[in-house]
Amino acid sequence: MDVASDNPFEGLKIDSHDPLRKATKRTPCPECSASRKYFCYKCYIPMPEIAGKFQTVKLPLKVDIIKHKQEVDGKSTAPHAKILAPDLVTIYTYPTIPPYENKEKLLLVFPYKDAIALEQLMKHRTSANENSDAMKEQPQIHSNGIQEGNIIHCSQLEPSVTKPSSCSSVIRLDMDPQGSAYLQSSDQENAPHNCHQKCQRTFSETLGEGATGPDEAHHGAKVESEEGLFERVIFIDSTWAQSHAISIDERLAGIKRVILKDRETAFWRKQHRKPRTYLATIEAIYYFMVDYHTIILRKLYRGQYDNLLFFYSFMYHLVKKAAKEEESQEEIHPVGFS
């Protein structure tokens, strides 16, 4: 998002705001009967007038939001995430924190002093894997006589198949965790060939139209993404002053701490003595998902999570419109003049 522009959400794949514009009256929440206009920020459901008129978002991992009990529900953007990704987002009101297990599968987004960016996290993981590989002894020899990790040409695997002269595919035999052999290809061409059935898929067949290079899909190989590396990410929803007690809670100890790249907020409420890089909760979740998709999953981002900003972008425009109308009224009736 370009927060300096008149419309920082321009170009994002966000559903039409027409259903929200047409919701001119407040109606009782179907669950708690409280008067609401667009959604109930207590029950985390949309009002009947707009229910089913926007797309929900499929996230790459689960999201837990730990909300401070003094955080004003009507001002928080955490409910946006729950409504737009209802099956993957859970909101807890502090001091309630679930008993986390398998902490190696969790991430905690908060600017701790020892928190690292996702890029650093992946570099550390890559270095650890390289060190682990270096400690291995002899390569394993399988029944077909091929050593695991050997670099071989496709013709060595299937000599009866004629390989096009344009094919420069080199295959690396590796083993997955279940012990099944699979092939890693160093082929730099985006043209399918018949040297082996696992080399049949092109970039577009692997990731859909638009995949353009080996970082997005390895022709003739397993896609080198880190799906399943992490299962859940945790966010803290509170003012900066309130966040300290949550951040040092011992129940969150031992969870990998990460920070986001610096981005400026589009939030319409001025935060006293706080930099523009302090994001609203829904902004933090959105930016994290984009970074996770490109850095951890190593996939091309095509706007899959843009609709997380459906309510947020609408409210941004609503506030800006009201501010402009107020300015116009002040110009017509300047202060100090009757």
Q: What is the pLDDT of residues 235-255, one digit of tens each?
A: 999 988 899 999 999 999 999
Sign of the torsion angle spanned by Cα atoms 292, 208, 223, 181: positive
Burial class from Cβ neighbours inside 10 Å (0-12, 13-18, 19+) for residue 92 reads middle
Measure the CA–CA gap between 143 and 148, rounded to whole angstroms.
11
* Long-range contacts of 99-106, Cβ-Cβ distance < 8 Å, separation of 24 or more: 99/251, 100/251, 100/252, 100/255, 102/231, 103/254, 103/255, 103/256, 104/256, 105/229, 105/230, 105/231, 105/232, 106/230, 106/231, 106/232, 106/233, 106/234, 106/255, 106/256
Residue 100: pLDDT over 80: yes
Q: Give me the residue label for tokens 């259903």.
A: 19
Band of the pLDDT at 78, cuts 50, 70, 90? very high
Residue whose C-alpha is closest to residue 268's, from 329, 315, 326: 315
What band does 272 get if pLDDT is binned at 50, 70 and 90? low
pLDDT of residue 198: 40
- Burial class from Cβ neighbours inside 10 Å (0-12, 13-18, 19+) for residue 162 reads exposed
Q: Which residue has the higher pLDDT, 227 or 184?
A: 227
State the DSSP code for 100. Answer: -
Q: Which of residues 190 and 279 earns the better pLDDT score?
A: 279
Give the residue-averaged pLDDT of 68-77. Answer: 92
Residue 231 CA to residue 229 CA, distance in Å, equals: 7
Residue 2's pLDDT band, with cuts at 50, 70 and 90, is low
Question: pLDDT per residue over 167-226, tens digit each?
Answer: 444 434 344 444 444 444 444 444 444 444 443 333 334 334 444 433 433 333 344 456
Average pLDDT, the chain: 76
SS3 annotation, 194-251: CCCHHHCCCHHHHHCCCCCCCCCCCCCCCCCCCCCCCCEEEEEECCHHHHHHHHCCHH
pLDDT for residue 221: 35
- pTM value surpassing 0.75: no
The tens digit of pLDDT for each residue in 288-326 reads 999 999 999 999 999 999 999 999 999 999 988 877 766
Task: Residue count of the chain, please give it.
Answer: 338
